[in-house]
Each structure stands twice: as C-alpha cells, then as structure tokens.
DNA sequence: CATAATTCCTGACTTTAGTCAGGAATTGCG
DNA sequence: CGCAATTCCTGACTAAAGTCAGGAATTATG
C-alpha cells in the first residue's frame, strides 16, 4: 500500500467527491426533495421499469413506491403495466414531468458549465481529459466479480442483455432457447457462473462447464458496453480458467460467432488458439482452445 | 458552451461523484449517523473550535450543538472552554474518541486502497495523476468572488490571515493597525471589498479605494496558500480594476513590499508599471500603476 | 388447475437531518 | 460599570429518509 498514492486518492475523495457531490445535489434538488428529483431524473423521457429503478437507485421497494405515488400525485409521472410481464410496472413521464426533466437536464448542463467557465481553453481541455481518465480507471476498480447462481436477478439481466445483443449482431439472428446450456451445468460442482457488478448493477457475466472426461468449456461471456475496454472480460475469463484448472481440467475450449470481434481478440490475446469444430453449434464460426497445464 | 466538454463533466459528476461519494459516506458511517462521523472526523486528534467546525461543515449552531452533545454522551468527545476567548468553545477527542477517529482514518485508507488495488502499477500512476489534476483545476472553478463588507466574518478571517502572513514575511515585521485603510474607505461608493470563497471558506480578498480626484488604489490583495497558482489573485485584481473603471477612475495604483514576489509578478503580468513612490508607507518598496483607459 | 414465486403497493413505524426562537455566559466598548 | 455583540446551548418543531411486515395482482411451475 503506497502511502503517497493513497493520500492523493483520499484527498480526491474528500474534496472533489464531497464538494462537487453536494453541489450536484443542490442543483438537482431545486424545490423538490432530493430523492424525488433523482427518481424523476432516472425515469427519463424514455420511461423506465420500476424494477430497474429500484436496482439503479438502490431503494427499498416500499420507499420507491411511495416516491412514485408522490410524483404521480404531482402529475409528473404515470405508472402503468409493463409491456410483457404485467407485474413489472413501467413509469413514464407526463407532459409536465417531461418539462421538469428537461429543466433538470438544463440545470445539470449549467452546473457542468459553471465548472468550466472560469478556466482558460487549455485548462478546460486538461480538466476534461483528467476527468475522463479518472472515470475510466475508477470504473475498472469498482467492478466486482463474484460467483452467483445463473437464476439470480443480476445474472438473468446479463443473460437477457447477452441474448439481445447476439440477436442484434448475428446475421442469422439468435434464438436464446437453442443456446444449449442448462443452468445446472454451470452450478457447482458441474460448472461455475460469474457476474461482474458495479454497485448494484450487473455489467458482465461468464460461465464455465466442467463435463467429466472432456475439456472445460467457456460459455456466455458477456460484458456490458458501459464497461468495455476496462479489462472486465479478461478478468472474468481468467477467473473462469482458474476455476477450471482448480477443478482438474487440463484445457478449456469455446466457440464463438465471427461478428463478436472484441471477444475473438480477447481469446487470442489470452493465449487461445483456433481449433477445428468440436460441436455443431449453428451460430459458431470459430472454435478456440487453450491448455491450462 | 462546448457540448462535448459539458458531457464529459456531467458524466464525471454523475458516476464519480455519486458512486465514490456514496462509498465514501458508507465507509465513514460504519454504525453511527453520517453527520456524527463527519463531525468526529473533523474534530480530529488536535481538537477544534466549535466555531471552526460550524463553518467547515456548514451546520446550524443548534444542530451542531446537539451533535456534540450526542458525541459527548457517547464518551467520545469533551467540549471545554477555549484558550483565549471563553465563548469560543473547543471540542477535543477523549481516549475512546481518538480510537474511533483512528478507525475512521484506517477505513478511509482502506477505501482509497480498494480503488487502487485492482489496477496495474501504470494505471495507478495514471489514476492518481488524473485525480490530482482534477482536484487542482476544480478548485479553481469552485472559487466564487463576491463583494462583501470588510466587517463580515469571512472578510475578517482573510484580513487576519493577511496580517499574519505579512508579519511573518516582512523583514521588519508588520503592525496591522498602521495599514492605513479604514473599512469605510472600501465600502461603496467610496470603494469596494471583494472576498473569494470556496464553499463556505474564505480563501482570498482584495479591496479598492476610489478617492475623488486621485487614481484608484488597490489594497489588501491576498490569496490563501491553499489556492495559490489557480488564478484567483488575477481574478480579484481584474474585478477590482473593472469596478474602478466603472466608477470613472482613469488609472489604478498600489504599493507593495519586496518580499511579496508572487504579487509583484502578478502586477507586472497584469500590465502594471513601476512608478516613483506616491506615499510614505513604511512597508512599501515598490509602487505600481496601470492605466485603465 | 392449484401452488409457489415475483412484483409491487400500503400502512405503520423509526431514525436522521435540519430549522428557529429564545436564553445564558462571556467579552468588547464607550 | 452598563450595554451591545458574540458564541453557544436548549427546547420545540418539521421534513425527509429509510425500514418492515403484510397483502393484492400477476405469472411461472409442477
């Protein structure tokens, strides 16, 4: 633990985080309680599912419900049944709510600009570059990777996002039911499922099957666009390989679609070599393997 | 207003400020209300005057008093009469309070380290450098400059610090009573007094006299060491000159001591030229003037 | 189709934060 | 010394934040 570096981080936490955070809150709060403003902001012009709001803002279900009722009472929001599942309700802004949201949006712009305004052009460039760097690197250290049952909500969310993304990127589309991995295959001791989270939001996942007598197989490796390029995929892959090796696997293999170029790059950089097809996965164009010994 | 830069700042405010801020708070809060922890932390092993705590934490006198009573009740703090003025009370940590403080200190270290731990050495260096840069430049934009009566507490604090600094830096020492400016000379319309503040803390001041029939005169320009090099002195000076020009002054002049090298540099860079003595100030070695037309 | 699980809502709380007016002790000033 | 200013304390509030148990509507599951 490097004293000098820790001191810089502490100083940063103290001054920037508190001072700017307080400012940000006061800009947001205007004349409404802070929690209401935050919620209104988070719903946004697109609307949002109540469940999503709960995890994003990390609120108690009862408290959130009450906040929504208040906003509804003020005529800013309507909560209606969701598209698919009628239990998952969706909050949308009314005309008035949208106007309020735009006001918040503008005042957030104002705050940002007030930080840049007193600086020279050169200082502005330096400040924003440094901010982007801090954000980027901090994100990396806020990602936590943990084993998890594939049925848990965070895992589910990742798998849904994974399927959506494959459906969008594959030329042939993608049918999630044909993915050919059952939950129980990636639950210990048959395998392992990992999720990467930032705060309470799941931002990545990955699984490994450990069939007896066969090489281990990596499945469902996915990283949210919001944290790509921060080494999360690499960390998930490493962790899965470590688990496979600890479980006695000599090698690990996987298949992938040609449209997933970032993943293919990751596999090559991690020491995977292309091999002939070992299965008949209709979505696969490339098959890779890596020795763990 | 540059859209791209504003977006970077907003993203930074949102993710870094909120997420790290919340983390920081939760580390601090442990099992005590946040306000109590913050107060305990702010008192520190050295102890602190209640008045100082009030301005630093920006708390209501009644609320602060109640918080202190609670900490006292928990046996963590004792509040006793101050050294000089018995109205200004001083809070000190007890043995137990000190132990709690050290716990907070250590957990703050832990938090900082947890941000650095998942990074490579190179990334750590980049992160801390970027943090320092953000902090430095943000400080500049959080400085607000406003007119103020020289009798107000913030102004008083600056003038005291100013006098202390002059006494320390002048070879001959410095007697504040001989400074030769009465408050009423720098109150509109006879003149103007400005203070620079960060949050609720005063970090700089400056005044201008507007004697009729004479050039305007800059007095008591001071910037706290904590924000030197950020252009605060320049902004104060510019503002004072603008006011003098608006009041009809053709030129502005000032005197200064040879030990105040940063100030002398500032004057030269701002277009001031050295002139012969225009007064008999015993502390002055240089006299400067600048035309405002 | 009954049962279990999910998702949200409601009511009844507690705790924390924050405000304000009034009063006591101390100090500065004429 | 007497009066005003300063500094803090106390009591009596209000508002916001947060928690928890129980219940209704909907959907999955055997």
Residue nearest to nucleotide C19 (CA to C1'): B60
Pull the structure tokens for residue A71: 């906003």
Give which of B102, B113, B129 is closest to A1, Cα–Cα.
Answer: B113
Confidence check: pLDDT of A95 > 80: yes
Nearest nt (C1') from A63 Cα: D18
Region A78-90: what's the mean pLDDT? 86
**Tell me: domain A3-118, CATH 1.10.10.10, correct?**
yes
Q: Do B5 and A128 touch (CB under 8 A)?
A: yes
> For residue A200, what pLDDT band results from cuts at 50, 70 and 90?
low
The reply to whether the CB atom of residue A160 sits less than 7 A from any atom in nucleic acid chain C is: no
Closest by Cβ to A8, choosing from B12, B20, B132: B132
CA distance to partner chain B, nearest, from residue A130 (Å)? 5
> For residue A142, what pLDDT band results from cuts at 50, 70 and 90?
confident
Nearest nt (C1') from B91 Cα: D8
pLDDT > 70: percent of chain A: 96
- The per-residue pLDDT for B176 is 58
HEC string for chain A: CCHHHHHHHHHHHHHHHHHHHHHHHHHHHCCCCHHHHHHHHHHCCCCEEHHHHHHHHCCCHHHHHHHHHHHHHCCCEEEEECCCCCCCEEEEECHHHHHHHHHHHHHHHHHHHHHHCCCCHHHHHHHHHHHHHHHHHHHHHHEEEEECCCCCHHHHHHHHHHHHHHHHHCCCCCCHHHHCCCHHHHCCCCEEEEEEEECCEEEEEEEEECCCCCCEEEEEEEECHHHCCCCHHHHHHHHHHHHHHHCCCCEEEEEECCCCHHHHHHHHHCCCEEECCCCCCCCCCEEEEEECC
- The per-residue pLDDT for B175 is 65
d(CA B209, CA A78): 60
Q: CB under 7 Å from any atom of strand D: which residues?
A: A 33-36, 59-63, 66, 81, 85-87; B 49-51, 54, 61-62, 64-66, 68-69, 79, 85, 87-89, 153
Region A34-58: what's the mean pLDDT? 93
- The per-residue pLDDT for A212 is 84
Q: Do A134 and B127 touch (CB under 8 A)?
A: yes
Pull the structure tokens for residue A52: 């999503």
pLDDT digits (tens, 9 = 90+) for A2-15: 899 999 999 999 98
CB interface of A with B, residues 187-226, below 8 Å: 198-199
pLDDT digits (tens, 9 = 90+) for B152-197: 777 777 887 887 787 787 777 766 555 567 767 777 778 888 988 8
Q: Do A139 and B18 touch (CB under 8 A)?
A: no
The reply to whether the CB atom of residue A33 sits less than 7 A from any atom in nucleic acid chain C is: no
The CATH architecture to which B142-291 belongs is 3-Layer(aba) Sandwich (3.40)
Region A174-184: what's the mean pLDDT? 65
Nearest nt (C1') from B88 Cα: D7
Q: Quickly tell me which residue has 């990074």 as its tokens.
A: B119
Q: Do B134 and A141 touch (CB under 8 A)?
A: no
Region A118-144: what's the mean pLDDT? 89
Cβ of B96 under 8 Å from any chain A Cβ?
no
d(CA B204, CA B223): 4
Give which of B270, B198, B16 is closest to A118, Cα–Cα.
Answer: B198
Judged by DSSP in three states, B33 sits in coil
Q: Do B12 and A142 touch (CB under 8 A)?
A: no
Mean pLDDT by 10 residues, chain B (293 residues): 93 89 89 94 93 90 95 92 83 94 94 87 92 91 83 76 80 64 74 83 88 88 85 91 90 90 91 91 88 85
What mean pLDDT, rounded, does chain A reach? 88
Closest by Cβ to B137, choosing from A11, A19, A126: A126
Higher pLDDT, A76 or B163: A76
Q: What are the φ and ψ backbone dihedral angles of B86, each rounded to 5 degrees?
A: -75, -10
Region A78-107: what's the mean pLDDT? 91
Pull the structure tokens for residue A30: 């205007």
Q: Do B6 and A130 touch (CB under 8 A)?
A: no
Domain boundaries, chain A: 3-118, 142-291
Nearest nt (C1') from A65 Cα: C9
């Amino acid at each position: 633990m490097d004293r000098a570096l820790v001191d810089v981080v502490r100083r940063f936490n103290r001054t920037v985080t508190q001072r700017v955070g307080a400012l940000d809150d006061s800009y947001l709060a205007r004349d409404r309680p802070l929690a209401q403003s935050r919620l209104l902001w988070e719903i946004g012009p697109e609307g949002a599912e109540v469940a999503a709001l709960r995890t994003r803002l990390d609120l108690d279900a009862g408290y959130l419900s009450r906040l929504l009722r208040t906003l509804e009472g003020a005529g800013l929001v309507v909560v209606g049944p969701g598209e698919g599942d009628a239990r998952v309700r969706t909050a949308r802004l009314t005309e008035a709510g949208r106007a309020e949201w735009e006001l918040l949006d503008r005042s957030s712009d104002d705050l940002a600009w007030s930080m840049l305004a007193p600086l020279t052009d050169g200082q502005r460039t330096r400040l924003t570059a440094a901010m982007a760097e801090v954000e980027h690197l901090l994100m990396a250290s806020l990602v936590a990777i943990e084993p998890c049952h594939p049925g848990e909500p965070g895992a589910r969310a990742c798998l849904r996002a994974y399927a959506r993304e494959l459906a969008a990127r594959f030329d042939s589309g993608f049918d999630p039911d044909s993915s050919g991995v059952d939950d129980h295959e990636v639950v210990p001791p048959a395998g392992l499922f990992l999720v990467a989270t930032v705060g309470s939001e799941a931002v990545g996942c990955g699984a490994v099957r450990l069939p007896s007598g066969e090489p281990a197989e990596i499945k469902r490796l996915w990283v949210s666009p919001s944290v790509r390029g921060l080494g999360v995929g690499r960390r998930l892959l490493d962790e899965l390989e470590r688990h496979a090796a600890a479980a006695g696997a000599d090698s690990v293999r996987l298949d992938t679609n040609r449209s997933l170029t970032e993943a293919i790059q990751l596999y090559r950089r991690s020491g995977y070599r292309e091999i002939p097809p070992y299965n008949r996965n209709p979505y696969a164009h490339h098959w890779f393997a890596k020795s763990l010994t």
